[in-house]
Amino acid sequence: MDLQIAAILVPLLGWAVHGSVLAYRLASARRDPLTGLHTRAGWTARAEHCIRRHPSTAVLLVDLDRFKTLNDTHGHAAGDAALVATADRLRAWCGRHGTAGRLGGDEFVAVVRDLAAADLDALTAALNRPLSYNGVSLPLAASVGVCHLPELPVPLLTDALAAADAAMYATKGRGRRGSRLSH
């Protein structure tokens, strides 16, 4: 190989490898290492894109009920299994019509293009289905708050999250597992 060509190719190859490593790190930073769901930053970018493109978008906030008790009673590995199961169930429900994320702790979020096409009762049932863990049936319970963006004066993600959060706490306040739409 000609030395001039090598002198050009070696630095280019180095930059290509460096760029690949940086792209991998960025992608990894946008995924929760435990659940594989998008982190807040990754999910927010996708949710804002969805809101701009689909006027009937809905935002959901999911919070596990009595998660601390589950962790304290069965251990942190069981708590991690509950978080992974919740993430899998939420991801499956979103399918190709939405995106799920983990905000942190036991809080999850989703955005779906069309709530009318999604079966909210199926999500609620899935999130409240017990989890088999090491031969024990762990009780899983979740409260879901939903904000249908067309009901907001201005369809902003921050306002949708606040409305979904209020609806989720209203569900918890009723002392029932399930979901509630914002109004």
CA–CA dist 79, 81 (Å, integer)? 5
pLDDT digits (tens, 9 = 90+) for 92-132: 999 989 999 999 999 999 999 988 778 899 999 999 999 99
Known catalytic residue: 106? yes
3-class DSSP state of 173: helix
Q: pTM, whole model, 2 decimals?
A: 0.79
CA-wise closest residue to 180 among 20, 62, 39: 62
Catalytic residue among 32, 63, 106, 165: 106
pLDDT, tens only, 129-154? 999 999 999 999 999 999 999 999 99
